Structure 1
Amino acid sequence: MATALKDKLGNDYGAPMDVLAALFDARGWALDTHADEELGGEIQGAWVKYQVRAVLRPEDGVLQLICLPDIRVGKDRLPCAYELLGLVNEQVWLGHFDIWSHGRVLVYRHGALLPDGGMLSVGQAQALIESAVDECDRFYPAFQFALWGNKSPADALEAAMIDAAGEA
Structure 2
Amino acid sequence: MSTPREMIGENEDAAPVEMLAALFEAHGWTTEQVNDEEVSGEVPGAWTTYQVRGIWRIEDKVLQIICLPEIRVSEDKRAAAYELLSRINEQLWLGHFEMWSQGGVILYRHGLMLGDDGMLSLDMAQMAVETAISECDRFYPAFQFVLWGDKSPRGALDAALVDAAGEA
Same fold (TM over 0.5): yes
Structure 1 counterpart of 2:135, which letter? E
Partner-residue secondary structure (3-state), 2:46? coil
Q: What is the CA-CA distance between 1:41 and the residue it aligns to?
A: 1.2
The answer for the alignment partner of 2:101 in structure 1 is 101
Q: What is the CA-CA distance between 1:69 and the residue it aligns to?
A: 0.3
Q: What is the CA-CA distance between 1:100 and the residue it aligns to?
A: 0.5
Structure 1 counterpart of 2:66, which letter? I
Deviations for 1:64-91, whole angstroms, at most 9, x for unmatched residues? Answer: 0000000000000000000000000000
Q: What is the CA-CA distance between 1:12 and the residue it aligns to?
A: 2.1
Q: Which has the higher strand share?
A: 1
The answer for the alignment partner of 2:29 in structure 1 is 29
Give the conservation status (yes or no) of the 8 Å contact 2:40–2:51. yes
Q: What is the CA-CA distance between 1:99 and the residue it aligns to?
A: 0.1
Partner-residue secondary structure (3-state), 1:66? strand
Give the conservation status (yes or no) of the 8 Å contact 2:98–2:108. yes
The answer for the alignment partner of 1:50 in structure 2 is 50
The answer for the alignment partner of 2:71 in structure 1 is 71
Matches within 5 A, 1:1-168: 11-162=11-162, 163-164=165-166
What TM-score, normalized by structure 2, do the two folds share?
0.91
Give the conservation status (yes or no) of the 8 Å contact 2:32–2:41. yes
Gaps of 5+ in 1: none
Whole-angstrom CA distance in 2 between matches of 1:117 and 1:56: 13
Q: What is the CA-CA distance between 1:11 and the residue it aligns to?
A: 2.8
Partner-residue secondary structure (3-state), 2:36? coil
Structure 1 outlier segments of 4+, above 4 Å: none
Structure 2 counterpart of 1:18, which letter? E
Q: Which has the higher helix share?
A: 2
Q: What is the CA-CA distance between 1:34 and the residue it aligns to?
A: 3.5
Partner-residue secondary structure (3-state), 2:50? strand
Partner-residue secondary structure (3-state), 2:99? strand
Partner-residue secondary structure (3-state), 1:47? coil
Q: What is the CA-CA distance between 1:119 and the residue it aligns to?
A: 0.3
Partner-residue secondary structure (3-state), 1:42? strand
Aligned residue pairs, count: 160
Give the conservation status (yes or no) of the 8 Å contact 2:21–2:33. no
Percent of counterpart pairs with the same letter? Answer: 56
Deviations for 1:38-61, whole angstroms, at most 9, x for unmatched residues? Answer: 010100100000011110000000
Whole-angstrom CA distance in 1 between matches of 2:69 and 2:28: 19
